[in-house]
Chains A and B, each alone.
Chain A
């Protein structure tokens, strides 16, 4: 089960002096769904192009099922790919589009028909064989592109922001379908997106990329709870960032004097030297907001600066000190539970919910 399908070893890619990818190592196991997540220009699409074979690494090694493929052309790599633009052939029917990879493999007519039918059934598009891509909606084109990439059972499926062109509701529908289909077929998938919620919802593991570096790889929950850097913390979900100086490390909790004010923060963090400048973060949903002070070591007075209603969520901006505004999100539990703008409140937080980045 843990056999690796694709392995990157110290892969770098430079275009002239611009480094698009910097010493990236990654391993995707059989049946795994790994997402490359990062802002645009972070190197995620470059990584995909290197694995597909459209680009060659400047240095490093790419292995597919243990064999080096650096010099192997894309058509010989046995990879399936779904493009953001779908890249369906406009002059071919749905059937001919899905049959294309089978025909390049010289499969016999009856088997082509059978495999195409199966693939179309898997993406719930049976009966559309005779249509042309332009006669299909975006979601339908997406499914056909997926069927075309799966029909020849490639050893690896690459997807480059495949849901990027769909509207929000359809995107969420396709996400859950994609995930169940991927589980069902057990197809090893490397997925590229800049949408962190999509990455969290779909992936077995997420690889966070930034500026050509692979910053951190891990399961969605692990990354969310234990980001390696403040970039990861900020990119995966929302976060409050506070700078400060370590004032006390008494063997147990770390105490930090925040830069913007007199507040002292207690958090359970790694041992750091006293006097060190650090950055600490907390997720907006981990801050408690109450009209009066509740228990716990970290109680800060604040005033509600703004309130935004999102339906199931309410987001507050709270002035704690001049120059320090903290974001707080709460589930919406009815109108009586809302705090008004201008209201004096208390923010409390558990030491465990803060993360420290030295």
Chain B
């Protein structure tokens, strides 16, 4: 049974990856070289895009973790029925088209969109807030899409905490804040780290949401790759950029594994 599985793995993952490496090393003239990588490193534009992609991913990750932790905590405290209801609400976005959701955010966030209109009617603001075609809009949209990937690992790690540890802490005189700070929080950190990794890695390669909500003002690496392939037909540079993203991701995953053990991501 190992044989066919190996063939499948090679066909689906290894071969395309190898093609990507070869493409990134193939110049316009068909010769092999690091030309594409040199062009990437020499251009401040591409480096700027890479930096912005990291910055946005990092902000999205932080926003997701901060929003997800209370949800995960509440999930461990409620009965079976509310648990199921909240769980469905958490997962519902995952079953909805990401394109539809992003357009929905555009309806909500644009200058004469739902949010701005409501705020103006309530006289909270006079001028419409700029919530789209900037990093704010991109972060809002991406965080909403990626939130379930933060909630689930955090909930799993919180649920795995032995309630007897909290009972023990309580008997020893620890009040609720002390119990949270000394027991719950540290024991849930592997879940937080796993959630952060899942969100960050996905955010790095995000395309649809930044493209629609950020427009031409917020260019991310995935958008540059798309432009290179579709408009400029520069497969070499596109592949080199994809490789940079891949290498960074792999380095992050390995670092995480060294630090905490990758098996904890999926518990």
Contacts and interface: CB of A to CB of B under 8 A. Distances in A.
Contacts of B164: 83, 85, 87
Contacts of B182: 89, 100
A148 B165 contact: no
Interface string A57-101: 000000000000000011111111101010101110000000011
Contacts of B170: 54, 73-75
Interface stretch (B124-132, B172-180, B226-234): B172-180
Interface residues of A, number: 24
B174 A75 contact: yes
Contacts of B169: 89, 100, 104
Given A85-B162, A90-B187, A148 B167 contact: no
Nearest to B169: A100
Contacts of A17: none
B168 A152 contact: no
B171 interface: yes
A279 B169 CA distance: 49
Contact of A87 (B168, B174, B175): B168
A354 to B, nearest CB: 45
B172 A104 contact: yes
Contacts of A152: 172-173
Contacts of B165: 87, 89
A52 interface: yes
B186 interface: yes
B162 A87 contact: yes
Given A54-B167, A81-B168, A91-B187, A104 B174 contact: yes
Given A75-B175, A101-B173, A105-B173, A87 B167 contact: yes
A75 B167 contact: no
A123 B80 CA distance: 42
Chain B at the A interface: SS class: helix
Contacts of B94: none
Interface string B201-219: 0000000000000000000
B183 interface: yes
A85 B162 CA distance: 10
Contacts of A76: 173
A54 B172 CA distance: 13
Contacts of B168: 81, 83, 87, 89
A75 B186 contact: no
Contacts of B175: 75, 104
A152 B174 CA distance: 13
Contacts of B174: 75, 100, 104
Nearest to A148: B172
Interface in A86-127: 87, 89-91, 100-101, 104-105
Interface string A127-152: 00000000000000000000010001
B100 to A, nearest CB: 42
Interface string B102-143: 000000000000000000000000000000000000000000
Nearest to B185: A91
Contacts of B186: 91
Contacts of A80: 171-172
A75 B173 contact: yes
A79 B171 contact: yes
Given A85-B164, A89-B165, A52 B178 contact: no
Given A54-B167, A85-B162, A87-B162, 18 more contacts: A74-B171, A75-B172, A75-B173, A75-B175, A76-B173, A80-B171, A80-B172, A81-B167, A85-B164, A87-B164, A87-B168, A89-B165, A89-B183, A100-B172, A101-B172, A104-B172, A104-B175, A148-B172
6 contacts: A52-B167, A54-B167, A78-B173, A80-B171, A85-B162, A89-B183
Interface of B: 162, 164-165, 167-175, 178, 182-183, 186-187
